[in-house]
Structure 1
Amino acid sequence: MAFRDAAHIFQRLRNGTVPDRGLEAFAVGIERHRKELQRKLDEVRNGEGDVKFLRGGYGCGKTFMANLVIHDAQRSGQEAQKRGFATSFVVVSDNDLHFHKFDELYRKVVSGLSTPACAQGALGDVLDRWIGGIEEGLVELGLSEDDPTFDERVLAKLDEQLVALTGGRAPADMIRVIRKIFELKQAGRVQDAAALVSWLSGSSNVAAGLKSIAGVKGDISSSDAMAYLRGILEIIKSAGYTGLVIVIDEAEAILRMRGDVRGKSLNAIRQIVDAASSYPGLLWVFTGTPTFFDDRQGVKGVEALYARIKYEEFNGVPSLRQPQLALKPFDRERLLKVALKLRSLHPDLAPEEAERRLPKELIEQLVDTVTAGFRGDVGVVPRQFLRTFVNVLDVLADDPDQDAQGLLGFEPAGLTPEEEAVLAGRKLEDPPPDDAFGGAGVAM
């Protein structure tokens, strides 16, 4: 592993967060689940559109698995000289994302677009690759780039492809803006073109004068947002990427929303599930807790959605291929395997030295010490354990004379509400009862 990636992994774990890259280096105990998600990626690569739900309690590794899906998606097909999937990772928040407002969802998805070639804000790069492909196609047909009609021919082909790819469902304003982006770039007005790319990404902070030049008024509306997403998906595929994977993390945050907003948000998920097959090349991946799926305040309260994605076990054995993929809580053995993997990856500690100074027996003691601090609940331990383990490795790397045995005391820090609850020996509060669900549908 590259030093840069190893350093990134340890920096993120020090902060108690999931790394953005290098996850495969310490992904243990989830091989079957990962294989199922790779199977789903293969289906979408072959023209399907679908939704998958990752189900698990606190500490099960839902966010880790969701990030691993992003990793696998972007690298999918690269062995065949393809570009892999474009991806977007959205965290549900009861403060800044009302899920039922599709314009807000669209903005989060498109502004966070990532590709193997562009780590963040990739829409502009995707548009350039798509338009570049159109230009190359015209040149291959014998048209010179110096031909005075070349730009007009590119615009005509651009219109033709958008209409054909979306079945005529691309919003007229979308076509106008993309045309204007091309024209502005050809005229050397790169900043103005970038501002219109921001508008196409869902931004509401684009000057009215510039929107007027493009022939549009206002911003992308909630009722039009999914049609725009369809257009973006087709452009992504036409730019040479396999498709689009959208991760919606921490869907359980919807349970904390006001009753009417929560109901509309759940209804929005139902609409996405119902329409998924009509977006070939798009995979949605949601993560959520069992309470989100099984409580009447959550998915179970929307009968049509619950029936579609209901979780089932057969004599205690679930199918991995059903809509909900259940992730198992960490156990002692899996935590040890992760620790042993990380021990060999520290960027400033040679693997042989790390193994000599921090043998497996001491790691087992640390697992037991941290677990005891959380009343024996191994499932809630991983974040705190990994933070402590990384700190121990850091101290050993900083001081060659330090004895690891003297570092094995544990004092929890930076606790989440879930960790505080376990530490105090109490359960988290259930979602507060309130009114029924509601929400009008939006054309998908």
Structure 2
Amino acid sequence: MIEHVKPKEATAIINSLLGGVVPKIGLQHITVGRSAEVASFLTALEDVKNGHSMMKFWIGDYGSGKSFMMHLLNTVAMKQKFVVANADFTPENRLYSTENRATLLYTAIIDSLAIQSMPEGGALPTLLEKWIEQIMSETAEELDIDVNDVREEKYVKQLRANMERKLNEVTDIGSFEFNKVIVKYFEAYLREDDELRICALRWLKGEYRNKTHARMELGAREIIDDGNYYNMLKNFCRLFVSMGYNGFIINLDEAINLYKITMSHNREKNYEKLLSMYNDCFQGKVSHLFFNIAGTREFLENERRGLFSYHALKSRLETNKHETNGIRDFAQPVIRLLPLDNTEVFVLLQSLRQIFELNYNTTINIDKEDIRQFMEDIYNKPGAHEFLTPREVIRDFLNVLSIMRQNPDLDKRAFIKKIKIRDERPHDNIKEI
């Protein structure tokens, strides 16, 4: 029996999976067959906690669970006291650009900042205010006054000086304007000036497109753009660590959209940026930063358009030649996500039936033998070997449960036999992006 599933989690799990997306909460209740991957991730987190940085590529076919893995990594990392962020590569979001497309990726990352108390994102204001409160507490202790008195005007100068000193200690490249805007946020926080606070958040999230506006509203001479956004991510990483977090995890999904960039020059520039970030992580140029990138085998291995078309990346990302399906190496940068086997899918479907019943406060007339029959029927249908993925199996199973809940007298065996397998893999032609 599924235990400790909250009603909110049950609803999120069922609604998300029926919609073909990964639930943001409750993943621990439906995780099967990924214990080795999670264990390797925990080991990597320990290294990042100790000051190293990391980049991992999670590679698998369509529907193999890449997005699920990204969300699972989030849950694990937040419990280990990391700040996490999620963003998707899209035709408009990429690593390198001269048209604000890299800045859009940066904005998506900062917008999605999450911590354990705010797992759904939007945590930037909370993080900044937590840090400001820390500075206020330290200043009050230094001045030997009550922390509630430190907001008085006569102590503001000392507060600002302590904040600027701390910022200078933890930030680095391109930090002058970054630090100035955080001090502006501090001033807005003290004065309860919502307009100034919003302007500071806009700057920190890379939403200014005009230097003149930034200068008029914040006194900032520069803005976050395609050229400096990566430095700002590193500054945020150092800031989070100074707050007491163990590091900054950035998960980037849908990397196939880098592969789809048809202009070879632009595609290579994105791979060059990726290589630069990879080198920073593994050469010790940055600390406490962890990138997870999810993509298909085509994105990785295609010699004409994928990462393997860029020789410097290919030489770093080729799989350990001694690895097999039975003997895995999870320490290497590329982790290949193998499909769940039939036993794992069976365990998952049993869990989903129980969560479904909990969500709808009902009992569905499907037992273990019925689940076995469902799997046997669906996996033996024409096209199943080529097209069927865990995503489609899960959705079909939940659709069966949904129909049976509303039609309890239905002949379940006859209904299951009528299910048809469709090729739901994307077949979009490569367009110039």
Settle same-fold status: TM greater than 0.5.
yes
The number of equivalent residue pairs is: 411
Equivalent position SS for 2:56: strand
Q: Which moved more, 1:315-324 or 1:376-385?
A: 376-385
Which of 312, 321, 326 lines up with 2:331 in the alignment? 321
State the shift of 1:98 in Å. Answer: 2.7
Q: Find the aligned partners of 2:20 and 2:246 in 1 and give their Cα distance.
A: 33
Tell me, yes or no, if structure 1 residue 96 matches structure 2 residue 101. no
1:370 paired to 2:378? yes
- How has the CA–CA distance of structure 1 residues 225 and 44 changed in structure 2, closer, same or farther, with 3 Å as cutoff? same
1:339 aligns with 2:349: yes
Hey, what's the Cα distance between the residues in 1 that align with 2:269 and 2:28? 37
Give the 5 Å matches for 1:361-400.
361-373=369-381, 375-377=383-385, 380-400=388-408
Supply the AA of the counterpart residue of 1:103.
Answer: T
Segment of structure 1 superposing worse, 219-228 or 378-387: 378-387
TM-score when normalising by structure 2: 0.87
1:212–1:378 distance in 2 versus 1, CA, 3 Å? same
Match of 1:307 among 299, 312, 315: 315
1:286 is matched with 293
Distance 1:153 1:210, change over 3 A: same
SS at match of 2:384: coil
How far apart are the structure 2 equivalents of 1:248 and 1:210?
29
Counterpart of 1:266? 271
Structure 1 residues without counterparts, runs of 5 or longer: 77-83, 419-427, 435-444
The answer for the alignment partner of 2:220 in structure 1 is 216
Deviation per residue, 1:379-435 (Å, 9 max, x gap): 7322222112112222333344444334312145793426xxxxxxxxx98x79x9x
Higher mean displacement: 392-401 or 115-124: 392-401
Secondary structure of the 2:227 match is helix
Say whether 1:201 aligns with 2:205. Answer: yes
Q: TM-score by structure 1 length?
A: 0.85
More displaced, 370-379 or 44-53? Answer: 370-379
CA displacement at 1:374 relative to structure 2: 5.8
The Cα shift of 1:197 comes to 0.7
1:127 match? 128
CA distance in structure 1 between the aligned counterparts of 2:37 and 2:386, rounded to whole angstroms: 20
| Counterparts of 1:34 and 1:221, CA distance in 2 | 35
Worse-matched range after superposition: 33-42 or 371-380: 371-380
Any conservation in 2 of the 1:59–1:379 contact (CA below 8 Å)? no
Asked whether the equivalents of residues 323 and 329 of structure 2 are also in contact (C-alpha less than 8 Å), the reply is no
Partner of 1:246: helix, strand, or coil?
A: strand
CA RMSD of superposed structures (Å): 2.5
Partner of 1:415: 424
Would you say the 8 A contact 1:270–1:305 is kept in 2?
yes
**Contact between 2:211 and 2:222, CA under 8 Å: does it hold in 1?**
no
List runs of 5+ in structure 2 lacking aligned partners.
none
Structure 1's consecutive aligned runs of 4 or more residues displaced over 6 angstroms after TM superposition are: none
Distance 1:414 1:290, change over 3 A: closer
1:60–1:271: structure 2 CA closer, same or farther, 3 Å change rule? same
Question: Equivalents in 2 of 1:205, 1:222: separation in Å?
Answer: 11
Q: Look up the equivalent residue of 1:105 and give its one-letter code.
A: L
Identity among equivalent positions (%) equals: 22
AA matched with 2:96: H
| SS class of match (1:322) | coil
Q: Map 1:158-307 to 2 at 5 A.
A: 158-166=163-171, 168-204=172-208, 208-209=212-213, 211-217=215-221, 219-258=223-262, 259-276=264-281, 277-296=284-303, 297-307=305-315
8 Å contact from structure 1 (residues 247, 286) kept in 2: yes
> What secondary structure, in the 3-state scheme, does the structure 1 residue paired with 2:291 have?
strand
Q: Distance in 2 between matches of 1:181 and 1:117?
A: 22
Displacement of 1:238 in angstroms is 2.2
Deviations 1:161-219 (A, max 9, x none): 111113x4352111111111111232221133122212111113689556424211453
Q: Distance in 1 between matches of 2:339 and 2:286?
A: 33
